[in-house]
Amino acid sequence: MALPNTVRLVDVGPRDGLQNEATHISTAVKIELVERLAAAGIRHIEAASFVSPKWVPQMGDAREVMAGIERRKGVTYAALTPNLKGFEAALASRVDEVAVFTAASEAFTQKNINCTIAESLTRFAPVIEAAGANGIRVRGYVSTVLGCPYAGDIAPAQVAAVCRELLDMGCYEISLGDTIGTGTPLKAKHMLEAVARDVPIHQLAAHFHDTYGQALANLYAVLEEGLAVVDASVAGLGGCPYAKGASGNVASEDVIYMLQGMGINTGVNLQQLVLTGNWISAQLGRVNGSKVGQAMACND
């Protein structure tokens, strides 16, 4: 057992959490969400997405969101960029980091970004090159690592192969997406073991959606392997518009509570994070998807 001493939590709520919301969310609320997360001690925030507004209308105000955020020293403000057009807009918006995204499943890649896996990698090459020239780090996402809504089971070797390609192209970190949350702990562990043969574990992150309520258990399984970067979404917001039925990411509050309970350092103020989760849930008119958020609100 080799649990890490410190875990970096990447809050993807402002992007993954909000991208799937059907009703319009104001730019001001998006900005305030990012600022509240930073105030709660989150040091890595996925704040926006420079994708086609025809594909994901909710992210159409990415420029305005990035322009409105009062930046804090020491916080990385990141954004999704599927292609060079997205990267150029992100660069003009002074992002600290960008993320390219593909999948281990051909069918999902086609639905999500309208191309094959190989074509997606070809599109990323100029993004990674331009990012390097501008001193911007690139993260790579691989979706459907524990199952695909269209193709079913995905072989760990296929996940490992795509991760390795992204690493070789220059991504500094690869985030492993259980997009539809169907994974279970041993499956997660075996997938990670396969990927870690090709990619050093300190360059891997877990991005687990909680559709089937397995995300915390799956996270524990990969933390035991030494993985130390976790993507999560405040109040458990979110879902992918191209993965029908997929619910939000594991809630950041639940992850922080679990990590703190195991003596793992995160630098996050849980109480403040819970307040942020309750605030954004109220803004969206929905029940807080974090169990810890609900429990701590009851104790107020």
Count residues binding ligand HMG (CB under 6 A). 26
Q: Which lies closer to ligand HMG via its Cβ, residue 51 or residue 219?
A: 51
**Non-local CB neighbours of 179 within 8 Å, separated by 6+ positions:** 103, 108, 143, 144, 145, 148, 149, 209, 240, 243, 246
179 interacts with ligand HMG by CB under 6 A: yes
Binding partner of 134, given Mg ion, ligand HMG, none, CB within 5-8 angstroms per partner class: none
The verdict on 113 binding ligand HMG (CB under 6 A) reads: yes
Q: Per the structure block, which two tokens stand in for 32? A: 């305030």
Nearer to ligand HMG, 82 or 289 (CB): 82
Does the protein bind ligand HMG through residue 218 (CB under 6 A)? Answer: no
SS3 label, residue 248: coil
Of the residues 16, 35, 46, 97, which one makes contact with Mg ion according to CB under 5 A: 16
Question: What span, in angstroms and rounded, lies between the C-alpha atoms of 178 and 110?
Answer: 17
Q: Does 207 bind ligand HMG (CB under 6 A)?
A: yes
Is position 240 annotated as part of the catalytic site? yes
Residue of 10, 18, 40, 51 that binds ligand HMG (CB under 6 A): 51
Residue 16 or 35: the one with the smaller Cβ distance to Mg ion is 16
Residue 166 CA to residue 181 CA, distance in Å, equals 23
* Catalytic residue from among 163, 171, 240, 298: 240
CA distances from 57 to 26, 51, 83, 146 (A): 12, 9, 17, 28
Amino acid at residue number 164: R
Residues 144-163 that bind ligand HMG (CB under 6 A): none
- Residue 267: C-alpha distances to residues 7, 12, 158, 199 (Å): 9, 17, 35, 26
Q: Tell me 250's DSSP state.
A: P
Are residues 117 and 77 in contact, defined by beta-carbon separation less than 8 angstroms? Answer: no
Q: Binding to ligand HMG by residue 55, rule CB under 6 A?
A: yes
For ligand HMG, the binding residues (CB under 6 A) are: 16, 19, 49-52, 55-56, 80, 82-83, 85-86, 101, 112-114, 141, 143, 177, 179, 207, 209, 240-242
Residues that bind Mg ion (CB under 5 A): 16
Q: Which residues are catalytic?
A: 240
